[in-house]
Amino acid sequence: MEVVGLDHAYLTVSDTERAERFDDAVMERLGFEKGDKPIGGEPLPGRGEAMLHTTIARVDEQDVPRLRAWLASLASRRDELQESYRQGGTRHELFLLVRTRRLPILVLISELEDVEQATRSFLRSQLPIDVEFKTLYQELSPEEAEVELLYDSADYVDTAV
**Homologous superfamily of the 11-32+48-148 domain (CATH):** Dimeric alpha+beta barrel. (3.30.70.1090)
Q: Maximum CA pair distance of the chain?
A: 49
What does the mean pLDDT of the chain come to?
A: 77
Angle at 149 between CA 144 and CA 155, to 5 degrees: 155
Domain ranges of the chain: 11-32+48-148
Return the SS3 of 97.
strand
Reported for 12-17, long-range contacts at CB under 8 A and 24+ positions apart, including other chains, are 12/51, 12/52, 12/53, 12/115, 13/51, 13/52, 14/49, 14/51, 16/47, 16/49, 16/50, 16/51, 16/52, 16/111
> 131 burial class (0-12, 13-18, 19+ CB within 10 angstroms)?
exposed
Q: For residue range 101-141, what is the model confidence (pLDDT) as tens digits?
A: 888 888 888 888 888 888 899 999 999 999 999 999 888 87
In this model, does residue 78 exceed pLDDT 90?
Answer: yes
